[in-house]
């Protein structure tokens, strides 16, 4: 199967908004791993975390990446924690060009703070949970093939830029 584009990045980085626009422009399918998992299991991500725990969610996520390997090239928006499983890396790389959507922590926290569907931040101190996850993951995102700073750019502009890089 052909190679696509895999968007990685912390929660709130805009992987889904950017991915949808980019796929539209490139005329290839868009896949959001979280949405696929919800569709497939018939459960929300929050319910999976609450009922089966994070490790079960990670196993479902890895299985999803293996499934995607058999599908046509797509723009794939991943969950922020996909980078934490070492086994996922060869799978991500095989799916295509791995792009890290980077944003400074302040911007990310503002974005995720407006939403409340992320189980890993449903804690007594969301700011602290956010910071410690960020610290733990920062180095992992660096394994991407390309990093794009999303600060002060709209999803539209980011998709434009990625499209240019992809073509050239
Ligand atoms: C997670 C990020 C979420 C989702 C799940 C776990 C994480 O996706 O996969 O809540 O570990 O960072 P988004 O990055 O789209 O919020």
Give the mean pLDDT of the chain: 95
Q: What is the pLDDT of residue 2?
A: 55
pLDDT-derived band at 162, boundaries 50, 70, 90: very high
Between the CA of 80 and the centroid of ligand 1 the distance, in Å, is 4
Q: What is the pLDDT of residue 99?
A: 98
Mutate-to-test residue for ligand 1 from 10, 11, 20, 32, highest number of ligand atoms within 8 A of CB: 11
Pocket, ligand 1, Cβ cutoff 6 A: 11, 15, 34, 45, 79-81, 118-120
Report, as an integer, the average pLDDT of 38-59. Answer: 97
Are 2 and 95 in contact by the 8 Å Cβ rule? The answer is no
Nearest to 59 by CA among 35, 88, 32: 88
Residue 53, by phi and psi: left (phi above 0), alpha (psi -120 to 50) or beta? left
Q: Other C-beta atoms within 10 Å of 114: how many? A: 8
Report, as an integer, the average pLDDT of 106-112. Answer: 90
């Amino acid at each position: 199967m052909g190679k696509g584009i895999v968007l990685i990045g912390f929660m709130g980085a805009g992987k889904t908004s950017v991915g949808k626009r980019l796929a539209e422009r490139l005329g290839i399918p868009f896949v959001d791993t979280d949405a696929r998992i919800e569709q497939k299991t018939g459960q929300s991500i929050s319910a999976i975390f609450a009922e089966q725990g994070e490790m079960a969610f990670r196993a479902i996520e890895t299985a999803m990446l293996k499934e995607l390997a058999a599908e046509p090239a797509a723009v794939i928006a991943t969950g922020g924690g996909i980078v934490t499983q070492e086994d996922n890396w060869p799978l991500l790389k095989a799916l295509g060009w791995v792009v890290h959507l980077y944003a400074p922590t302040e911007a990310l926290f503002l974005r995720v703070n407006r939403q409340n569907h992320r189980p890993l931040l449903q804690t007594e101190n969301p700011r602290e949970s956010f910071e410690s996850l960020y610290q733990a993951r920062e180095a992992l995102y660096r394994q991407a093939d390309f990093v794009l700073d999303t600060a002060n750019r709209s999803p539209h502009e980011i998709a434009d830029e990625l499209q240019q890089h992809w073509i050239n």
